[in-house]
Structure 1
Amino acid sequence: MHSLDDLRAGRLRGIPRLNLKQGLEQFPEEIFALAESLEILDLSDNALSTLPEDLHRLTRLKVLFCSNNRFNHLPEALGRCAKLETIGFRSNQISEVSGAALPPSVRALTLTDNALERLPDSLGQCHQLQKLMLTGNRLSALPASLADCQRLELLRIASNRLTSLPDWLLRMPRLAWLAYAGNPLPEGFVAPPVDAPCPSIAWQDIELGAELGRGASGLIHLAHWRGQDAPLAVKLYKGAITSDGSPLAEMSACIAAGDHPQLVRLAGRIDDHPQQLPALAMQLIPAQWHNLAGPPSLASCTRDQYPDARRLSPTALRRLALGIASVCAHLHARGLSHGDLYAHNILCDDHGQCLLGDFGAASFHSTAEQPAAILLQRLEVRAFGILLSELLAHCTQPDEQLQALAEHCQQADVAQRPGFSELLALLAH
């Protein structure tokens, strides 16, 4: 975090990244003194409603965050910033996006939790776009021109007013991570009645311990259940919209996922929290397990970041691949797409034993052999193919068969990709 005083005194000259959170109502002109070095500008959590028309004077600017401010439209000054790749205007009051506000160079655009009812047709001219975050708006349709964004890989459109998912969307050649829960979609795209057993646990029987972690959808605590010897993990869900969707939708997906060796086992749900927070009690993951990778960086955009030292034996890699393919086949058979099939959502040990977590982007589809359901499943197969390619890059030995399989999963023709049942059979042999 930086201060306005340091900026005005010239003590920040030459820095590549500036983070100002001081209740700003006006864009500080002193920022232009950093034009020769500034690449990342974070003005989130202020009270801004406008940006200067000559913002393009920041000629090296690649990343701009203005979340939690007071913008009611996306500033057109952004469209004149020649190198701007990442734009984040989450949780404003944006109801309008002009095509002039979209720089051709944009790779990641976040407009989560605003008041958008439509998007400009010129969005399709953003040919570098890889990541588009639109959860929590009022969109009733997507512009058909979005089909021209052939590099698009991650799309979040949960909690809008969409009444259909267009066929062209399900056939986009690189789309791999899609979240669409919380829209008034037809019967084949909404949560079915949950038939997975999930016992009810009384809050008075739970004793919370230390915080184990926190995410966009809630907090996870160590916990003890009265009368039980083994400790648990309890996740308390927030009510706010996340970048992926509704925390309540995530909770429903966790329950609907049911039992599988590669899923965190549910002990029960808690419905009588004193603050009415929904909560789930889950098995505690062994301390020696770790996340397979870290989430994408600003530079990698849609690709996870693996530790340099991460190495997998061929046996561990195949066990991992088989485990993830198995759990995805299980989910798809239950009409559930994970939506965020990434290494950073996989917990594992050094031998390739693994658990798939984080259902924040999960969405439902028909369990019947309907064309739309098949295409939705094949989108997730591409995510698996990307994951498999990444694992192969960190394997101690090359594996031509698995490499060919990874490429088969990522082919541009969505309908020609294998399903997870077929993948399971191939991996088993």
Structure 2
Amino acid sequence: MTRTLDLLRSGQLAGATSLKIAGGLTEFPREIFDLADTLEVLDLSGNQLSSLPDDLPRLRKLRILFCSDNPFTALPDVLGQCEQLSMVGFKANRIRTVSGQSLPRALRWLILTDNEIETLPAEIGACTQLQKLMLAGNRLQRLPAELADCTRLELIRLAANRLTELPAWLMQLPRLAWLAYAGNPFDTPLESAALDDTSIHAIPWHALQLQETLGEGASGVIYRALYRSAEGHAAQPVAVKLFKGAVTSDGLPHCEMAACIGAGRHASLIGVLGRVQDHPAQTEGLVMALIDPRFTNLAGPPSLNSCTRDIYAADARFEPAAALGIAHDIASAASHLHAHGIMHGDLYAHNILHDGEGHALLGDFGAASFYGLDDTVLASLLQRVEVRAFGCLLEELIERTEQQESAADVMGTLEKLRNACLMDQIDQRPAFGEIVRTLSGVMTQPDH
């Protein structure tokens, strides 16, 4: 922190467009205003700030502001006066109050995860550019009806709140594609039923030998491991995910575990072999099939600028047959999930693994939510919200697929499905079962 401030004071950061200061700030450093004509991204996360200066709008080019992990108790009203501010992040503060004056009208992405917010102001409906709204881990009992005016909203995280229902207008938002709501009172019984499933195999901790770390996310750490199911049996290579306890941007780790268990078996889902039992620290965990190393991520997560769209490698290109295979496998996995009353909530290319030959696996259940299949109206709406996410995936695949005259029928089918899945009118989108049948029909034709 001190070094950054020293550099500011000495003029060595003149002209900077991005600035990060962390570690002990109790007041907003006035030296930041020396960058008033250039600063676009300001990150003050991990400090002891509880207020921002009234003249913050002097940073006239400020587009992105992060103030996570600070003790703010209210979202500062001065934010609403920052005309260019489009991304605001105040995760893991102590925020209880969000006033209408605090919301910039250019807002595209608002992160208020893990706070103490009970209500949102009606003025949020005036944020018509809003695309991404992160509200997991708060105390919301309802959503303001005015949020229905945010017709550009594509992703909303509502997990781990106190909502007693999903408002009917929410699913009617024309661009909504990624929705998470697990850990609310209306969803808890379904999650509990999955966690109480006695058919899931219990795997004793002593039967597992952890090896290297394979990856770490917000909800937990995944290890390569050896599993010896019985004395004298050969050890089986597996993956073990040990869950953290804290709320994530998507929701609660135990909700993710419930969805993994409730999903059951499918060729395009990563199989759950069992649940960790008797961990010495009582840590929850799952034992899963080890993924073949030839499978790699289809894309990376969205950037600050792309907001809701994944970032693909610059050279990412697909043969038509491979794009068709990926689309088919993911649609089939999604159809299977919805048949089990589970919404994935994060159907994105960055949560898909593929082998380069058209085989794909859908992973990461951190945003998954349950719903009752007996409520056929709600089930249909939730499925078609997720169908829009699949339409976005199709759009990305089509953009990166080699155009071949011999595969004109494949591309034609993918383009028609994309258009249908992206319809603004939710009831005009196909269900996943219909999508799978369409794709299967093309795959069984000669030369495919």
**Cα deviation, residue 3, structure 1:** 2.2
2:249 matched to 1:247? no
1:156 maps to 157
2:367 matched to 1:361? yes
Looking at structure 1, the residues matched to 241 and 194 of structure 2 have their Cα atoms a distance apart, in angstroms, of 22
Which structure 1 residue ranges, 4+ long, deviate > 6 Å from structure 2?
A: 186-189
Looking at structure 2, the residues matched to 278 and 341 of structure 1 have their Cα atoms a distance apart, in angstroms, of 25
Pick closer, same or farther for the CA change 1:315–1:73 going to 2, 3 Å. Answer: same
Looking at structure 2, the residues matched to 120 and 292 of structure 1 have their Cα atoms a distance apart, in angstroms, of 38
The alignment's TM-score, normalised by the length of structure 2, stands at 0.93
Looking at structure 1, the residues matched to 198 and 143 of structure 2 have their Cα atoms a distance apart, in angstroms, of 34
1:183 maps to 184
Checking the alignment, whether the CA contact within 8 Å between 1:196 and 1:255 is kept in structure 2 is no
1:223 maps to 225
2:313 maps to 307
Looking at structure 1, the residues matched to 217 and 420 of structure 2 have their Cα atoms a distance apart, in angstroms, of 33
1:210 to 209, 212, 222: 212
Greater shift in the superposed pair: 71-80 or 269-278: 269-278
Looking at structure 2, the residues matched to 241 and 369 of structure 1 have their Cα atoms a distance apart, in angstroms, of 28
* 1:50-87 deviations in Å (ceiling 9; x for gaps): 00011111111110000000100000111111111110
2:439 matched to 1:427? yes
Checking the alignment, whether the CA contact within 8 Å between 1:294 and 1:344 is kept in structure 2 is yes
Letter in 2 for 1:15: A
**Cα deviation, residue 262, structure 1:** 0.3
2:446 maps to none
* 1:338-373 deviations in Å (ceiling 9; x for gaps): 000000000111101111000000001122362111
1:382 maps to 388
User: Identity of aligned pairs, percent?
Assistant: 53
2:430 maps to 418
2:79 maps to 78
2:267 matched to 1:261? yes
Runs (5+) with no aligned partner, structure 2: 442-448
Looking at structure 1, the residues matched to 78 and 194 of structure 2 have their Cα atoms a distance apart, in angstroms, of 48
Aligned pairs (5 A) from 1:127-206: 127-185=128-186, 192-193=193-194, 197-206=199-208
* 1:286-345 deviations in Å (ceiling 9; x for gaps): 222210000000000000011110011011011111100101110000000000000000
* 1:177-215 deviations in Å (ceiling 9; x for gaps): 000011111789766446584211111111111111110
SS at match of 1:264: coil
The alignment's TM-score, normalised by the length of structure 1, stands at 0.97
Looking at structure 1, the residues matched to 198 and 339 of structure 2 have their Cα atoms a distance apart, in angstroms, of 13
2:22 matched to 1:21? yes
1:351 to 351, 357, 361: 357
Runs (5+) with no aligned partner, structure 1: none
Considering only aligned residues, what root-mean-square deviation do their CA atoms show, in Å?
A: 1.5
Greater shift in the superposed pair: 226-235 or 391-400: 226-235
Looking at structure 1, the residues matched to 205 and 188 of structure 2 have their Cα atoms a distance apart, in angstroms, of 34
**Cα deviation, residue 9, structure 1:** 2.1
1:405 to 411, 417, 438: 417
* 1:116-174 deviations in Å (ceiling 9; x for gaps): 00000000000000000000000000000000000000000001000011110011110
SS at match of 1:11: coil
Letter in 2 for 1:147: A
2:333 to 307, 327, 332: 327
**Cα deviation, residue 49, structure 1:** 0.2
1:341 maps to 347
Looking at structure 2, the residues matched to 36 and 281 of structure 1 have their Cα atoms a distance apart, in angstroms, of 53
Count of residue pairs brought into register by the alignment: 429
SS at match of 1:223: strand
1:291 to 285, 291, 297: 297
Checking the alignment, whether the CA contact within 8 Å between 1:326 and 1:420 is kept in structure 2 is yes
Greater shift in the superposed pair: 59-68 or 190-199: 190-199
* 1:22-51 deviations in Å (ceiling 9; x for gaps): 210000000111112211111001000000
Greater shift in the superposed pair: 98-107 or 190-199: 190-199
Pick closer, same or farther for the CA change 1:313–1:39 going to 2, 3 Å. Answer: same
Looking at structure 2, the residues matched to 187 and 54 of structure 1 have their Cα atoms a distance apart, in angstroms, of 45
Looking at structure 2, the residues matched to 328 and 174 of structure 1 have their Cα atoms a distance apart, in angstroms, of 19
Looking at structure 1, the residues matched to 378 and 295 of structure 2 have their Cα atoms a distance apart, in angstroms, of 37
Looking at structure 2, the residues matched to 211 and 363 of structure 1 have their Cα atoms a distance apart, in angstroms, of 27
